[in-house]
Structure 1
């Protein structure tokens, strides 16, 4: 490399040949970590140009294969020997690459802006630690320096591997500190690091280095993403004339501390934001003013800092010798910082979306019109002149009562599941058939509001009746002896119970409470249909009663007749429930049960009369556990399978009782999960992890008898339409991945037959909390991935959000090095740690579609349909929905649909 092209070091400034730092920049850097009070120097292999971060550098594509970046060569730096070009040729063997030199900046992947800082500290010492001695002696300055330099070498290699700053296949395993560590086998990178460490070693011996920083930088934006900062401090020696009571530190203790730091670096992957964009790395050294800095190798540098308001920091473990103490910390940019899109407000959600706006106008408009009609008809009825003397309270009660009659009919319509399943494919464009549960809730909220209005108005009416003496009854008699008062209070009590037990937490933890209490709706509807009976509304104060049960009508009674219209949805619903009972009793047999370590039980059911499509769901009943409870579950098998399968987690009373009945209750599952986690830590590339194992309960080979089952369904779900768009994005969170098991199987079968419809690309995302949960889905994903003739048709993206213990992470990293398969999932697709940045993912997808790279050969004049199907928590649903809204354009239409039960 041409040393003449290197920039000189300028004392008192942080420099590396990239961008000179100003005093203002340095002061802002100090606000981030507080360690930058000394002049800093950085490494630069070439380039005196301050305008570009990189000269002839290396970078890796999205597949981590380094190549020369187009337009990256510096204008003042020639490459006569083709070094950069040769380095970009990853087809060369390691022996061919030994001759190549490499600059300090290496391209990689990363998606979110992060900044990490770590700190190193330099000390003076006593006695080398190269070999164990019978009599323990203090480590010398030279020995401590060697140890610190060696640690930095392995720490840098670990960070570069874990943060994917360099391809994983360029690392190999070596034994160090009593464990396996990963070290680069690319000699160019090795030579570069050795050159840095040689200089750092000299500074350590002279006590002139105070900090080392490894900065990871975005290639595209030149923004620091992470700063791993290592502070170097000197252990205070005993005061002059005093004897030290401190015992020399054993080598084993120092190695144990170093092991802990290296393991912690690996564990950082579980909560640092995922990096998916091209990145470079830089190494900075902070020295004293008197430090001897080679002018031809170390140059002025930008501190590569990040504003404190945009970063988060994590302090790491430390280690020390008898001379030096090394403290580490990492600072990273918040994953969501800089996203200017505001969260979706209630007003925007309800009135900013055209389809939702149309619904609200029709729904609430109809309710207001109905209320106005009831008010007007009551106020202008001459036969009710006496009752109208009560004033606005009676008009309000009449209007609100008419609205409640309307809602009493509407609330049953979304529950007509069989009718909705039939009309869904034809009328989805007209109304949101997949949002039937949402619509049911909207009607319930409306009923709660108008019930309060109606009840309050009637309490005022009854008091006014007693006060004005237009009737002989007291308010108390009207409340508790008249049909209207009795049924009204009865319905209020039922509503209070039903609304309380319908809360999401109760449905999840005690579904049977929700299930039984919701069947009180039968008595509520009876009360609604008989509420207007009696003769409270009449045209004379005291008519002669003629009891005609249940109407209590006389010639003077003016009964309300709205029940004659609202009763029809009830009749249809009753008929559908009868049909469901008949259909559910058809021949059904539970043929096999598979219990996975994650706690999921896979039930395989044989029912010849059951026909379904991928993505649908069903109700299941186990009469042995309960003759009345029906529980909804997604179908995980494909229509081509000879059975119907569902996956059930043991999270509630009913599911736990089912597990106990099958002999695999929570205690058994906990033991299986523990065994799977231990299997995950096996240092074996051949056997992989055992979390995919399961317990098979087959009555033909075990003594356990399987209970009888009934299933009702299937019922429609939005994911049925997956073949109607060019691009399908399937997102599952935790057990919410179950709908996509069926869809992926169906895609697999249809791909073999060449019947994919409009579908050209599939992006599958699974956000999972713990490693054992991958087990039950692992074999399916392996089969689907292996069957792909076009590797770009289906892309699998798995995110693990759990903080894994350091020993397990270490073994994962060791197994990952040089392997073609991910050690966690045994897939070719690598597992990513942390939560996805949906805004970034969707933004990049939109860019690649519009550029023609994502769907080559597609008609650019036509609008590309990208459909997102999600099953999981509402928080992720909001992020996905917002990403779809933000990225929809004239050329790309992003749609979003969420599974509802």
Structure 2
């Protein structure tokens, strides 16, 4: 049996080390990564994996040398250290897993620009997923090690108790089964295909976290691993998970109570606008809501789905008397919600809107800070929106207009590059009035607008654009002075040019859109960031909900 445990331990070491190396190689596309150009995400990923590995090794070595565990160590050999060391890592991870969704706490902490530059708060969803994946792995290690331990106990006790009874009927056994099943159901229901097609299945199943944490609190209280006779406390201090769990539990319960209180404040939908390309704009009167440009809110419509809360970025400026969001109608919930608002989308009449007399009541949670809030912390900012991903920047562009008209406003921002890519030409109508107004202000080169049409045009559409462009002062497609580019933007070329135009400058690059394009922009930021202290540096931030 000792050989099996050695192989298991070796597998754990090799898995984590290989995982770190492959993670860096695949993401940077280099065999030997240049650490000076790695973004903070990758460095934090290395730290996250390294902490797990270090904690496992330290726990393993401490258990291997613990003088009060000589009896059980002689019986279970490496299985004792493997199971208990993995349990310590599980305690650490489970104690952290709720922090990423304490949105109020994160919004408060990220106000510090120094901390925000170091800690990628806007990757909270990805961090939660990483913790979950790590929990699954260490749970696998813990469970397999204890199954071997149960077999050894059965052999040493001549079949009484059996390994099966220890695994299923003993205190540690049945609580372990409950924890494992709850974790499995939460992980499988959180897959993207399940969330998109059956959100309420995901929502209800994820509330098995109550069972999961309850099982963890009980799991260590049965004193399966006992200290040597005569060495004092046989249970060696009793269960340990509560020490890891207490802070996050208090914070999360406070968060949930605040969320319920905020969600029940009075709201009123004052205006509904149906835009091209299946987009609906709603304006909500909410005097008690204080917002900042670039923030987002969660919206719940009890008439459509009682438990579904969906995030949307604000497209209104803090100076406006209402809050607004633009919603792309792509799924069951957004389709039902837009229909309830009176919108009718179809091939024959895409702009038909009949507003009902009684608009639905909506609940709002937020607003919360996001990556886009930091736009004004840089001298130069690049805003990249893909399709409906432009919504965070609509609020920021409006805020720029208001700040321009307030000479007393202290604005560090000196230059903004706005890049908007759309597949459909009709989508450029969503915020055309805002962009046209900003162009009319003639902001002395403060704002540069670059529109990219990535979808194809029909022959007659292309001909009309060519004819209307000849001698025109504005673009035939967007009615802006800035010309429209056709095709995908080359971000390597764009960022290389910015490094030349803005030497020795920290440039913020903010993106909202699909993951594939995000990876392209992120790698370009790392490529063109200069490692020297006075070099141009690109700081990348992506919207995550």
Say which SS state the counterpart of residue 510 (structure 2) adopts. Answer: strand
Q: Which residue of 1 aligns with 2:11?
A: none
Question: What is the CA–CA distance in structure 1 between the aligned matches of 2:93 and 2:346, rounded to whole Å?
Answer: 46
Alpha carbons of structure 1 residues 820 and 512: separation in structure 2 relative to 1, 3 Å: farther
How much does 1:764 deviate? 0.5
Alpha carbons of structure 1 residues 710 and 490: separation in structure 2 relative to 1, 3 Å: same
Q: Which residue of 1 aligns with 2:186?
A: 498
Alpha carbons of structure 1 residues 349 and 650: separation in structure 2 relative to 1, 3 Å: farther
Q: Which moved more, 1:747-756 or 1:470-479?
A: 470-479
1:795 maps to 2:448: yes
Question: What is the CA–CA distance in structure 2 between the aligned matches of 1:470 and 1:539, rounded to whole Å?
Answer: 22
How much does 1:604 deviate? 1.0
If you compute each CA radius of gyration, which structure gives the higher value, 1 or 2?
Answer: 1
Match of 1:566 among 221, 238, 244: 244
Q: Which residue of 1 aligns with 2:272?
A: 593
Question: What is the CA–CA distance in structure 2 between the aligned matches of 1:745 and 1:471, rounded to whole Å?
Answer: 75
Q: Which residue of 1 aligns with 2:414?
A: 760
In structure 2, runs of 5+ residues without a counterpart are 1-25
Q: Which residue of 2 aligns with 1:367?
A: 52
> Is the CA contact (8 Å cut-off) linking 1:350 and 1:360 kept in structure 2?
no
Question: What is the CA–CA distance in structure 1 between the aligned matches of 2:515 and 2:35, rounded to whole Å?
Answer: 16
| Within-5 A mapping of 1:650-799 | 650-665=329-344, 668-673=345-350, 702-754=355-407, 755=409, 757-790=411-444, 792-799=445-452
Say which SS state the counterpart of residue 386 (structure 1) adopts. Answer: helix
Q: Which residue of 2 aligns with 1:869?
A: 510
Match of 1:624 among 291, 295, 303: 303
1:840 maps to 2:519: no
Say which SS state the counterpart of residue 405 (structure 2) adopts. Answer: helix
Question: What is the CA–CA distance in structure 2 between the aligned matches of 1:490 and 1:733, rounded to whole Å?
Answer: 43
Say which SS state the counterpart of residue 603 (structure 1) adopts. Answer: strand
Say which SS state the counterpart of residue 826 (structure 1) adopts. Answer: coil
> Is the CA contact (8 Å cut-off) linking 2:342 and 2:353 kept in structure 1?
no
> Is the CA contact (8 Å cut-off) linking 1:597 and 1:669 kept in structure 2?
no
Question: What is the CA–CA distance in structure 2 between the aligned matches of 1:756 and 1:598, rounded to whole Å?
Answer: 38
Alpha carbons of structure 1 residues 381 and 866: separation in structure 2 relative to 1, 3 Å: closer
How much does 1:526 deviate? 1.6
> Is the CA contact (8 Å cut-off) linking 1:421 and 1:716 kept in structure 2?
yes
Q: Which residue of 1 aligns with 2:321?
A: 642
Question: What is the CA–CA distance in structure 1 between the aligned matches of 2:321 and 2:195, rounded to whole Å?
Answer: 32
How much does 1:865 deviate? 2.2
Alpha carbons of structure 1 residues 509 and 645: separation in structure 2 relative to 1, 3 Å: farther
Encode CA deviations 1:771-799: one digit per residue, 9 max, x unaligned: 22222222222222222342x22111111
> Is the CA contact (8 Å cut-off) linking 1:590 and 1:708 kept in structure 2?
yes
Question: What is the CA–CA distance in structure 2 between the aligned matches of 1:447 and 1:843, rounded to whole Å?
Answer: 41
Q: Which residue of 2 aligns with 1:481?
A: 169
Say which SS state the counterpart of residue 825 (structure 1) adopts. Answer: coil
Q: Which residue of 2 aligns with 1:606?
A: 285
1:399 maps to 2:85: yes
How much does 1:696 deviate? 5.8
Q: Which residue of 2 aligns with 1:348?
A: 33
Question: What is the CA–CA distance in structure 2 between the aligned matches of 1:780 and 1:670, rounded to whole Å?
Answer: 27
Question: What is the CA–CA distance in structure 1 between the aligned matches of 2:130 and 2:47, rounded to whole Å?
Answer: 13
How much does 1:487 deviate? 2.3
Say which SS state the counterpart of residue 420 (structure 2) adopts. Answer: strand
Q: Which residue of 2 aligns with 1:858?
A: none
Q: Which residue of 2 aligns with 1:419?
A: 105
> Is the CA contact (8 Å cut-off) linking 2:268 and 2:361 kept in structure 1?
yes
Alpha carbons of structure 1 residues 635 and 765: separation in structure 2 relative to 1, 3 Å: same
> Is the CA contact (8 Å cut-off) linking 1:351 and 1:357 kept in structure 2?
no
> Is the CA contact (8 Å cut-off) linking 1:637 and 1:646 kept in structure 2?
yes
Alpha carbons of structure 1 residues 798 and 354: separation in structure 2 relative to 1, 3 Å: closer
| Within-5 A mapping of 1:183-332 | none
Alpha carbons of structure 1 residues 470 and 561: separation in structure 2 relative to 1, 3 Å: farther
Alpha carbons of structure 1 residues 471 and 533: separation in structure 2 relative to 1, 3 Å: farther
Question: What is the CA–CA distance in structure 2 between the aligned matches of 1:575 and 1:471, rounded to whole Å?
Answer: 49
Q: Which has the higher helix share?
A: 2
| Within-5 A mapping of 1:130-169 | none
How much does 1:803 deviate? 1.5
Question: What is the CA–CA distance in structure 2 between the aligned matches of 1:558 and 1:623, rounded to whole Å?
Answer: 50
How much does 1:514 deviate? 3.3
Question: What is the CA–CA distance in structure 1 between the aligned matches of 2:200 and 2:312, rounded to whole Å?
Answer: 15
1:897 maps to 2:538: no
Q: Which residue of 1 aligns with 2:96?
A: 410
The number of residue pairs the alignment matches comes to: 509
> Is the CA contact (8 Å cut-off) linking 1:727 and 1:866 kept in structure 2?
yes
Alpha carbons of structure 1 residues 497 and 477: separation in structure 2 relative to 1, 3 Å: same
Question: What is the CA–CA distance in structure 1 between the aligned matches of 2:260 and 2:349, rounded to whole Å?
Answer: 37
Question: What is the CA–CA distance in structure 1 between the aligned matches of 2:342 and 2:502, rounded to whole Å?
Answer: 51
Question: What is the CA–CA distance in structure 2 between the aligned matches of 1:653 and 1:349, rounded to whole Å?
Answer: 45
Q: Which residue of 2 aligns with 1:252?
A: none
Encode CA deviations 1:716-744: one digit per residue, 9 max, x unaligned: 11221212222111000011111001010
Question: What is the CA–CA distance in structure 1 between the aligned matches of 2:245 and 2:204, rounded to whole Å?
Answer: 23
Alpha carbons of structure 1 residues 354 and 770: separation in structure 2 relative to 1, 3 Å: closer
Question: What is the CA–CA distance in structure 2 between the aligned matches of 1:358 and 1:898, rounded to whole Å?
Answer: 17
How much does 1:761 deviate? 1.4
Q: Which moved more, 1:413-422 or 1:361-370?
A: 361-370
In structure 1, runs of 5+ residues without a counterpart are 1-341, 542-553, 674-693, 851-862
How much does 1:706 deviate? 0.7
Question: What is the CA–CA distance in structure 2 between the aligned matches of 1:622 and 1:560, rounded to whole Å?
Answer: 46
Encode CA deviations 1:355-374: one digit per residue, 9 max, x unaligned: 45653564334323322343
Q: Which residue of 2 aligns with 1:28?
A: none
Q: Which residue of 2 aligns with 1:386?
A: 71
| CA-atom RMSD in angstroms | 2.6
Say which SS state the counterpart of residue 485 (structure 2) adopts. Answer: strand
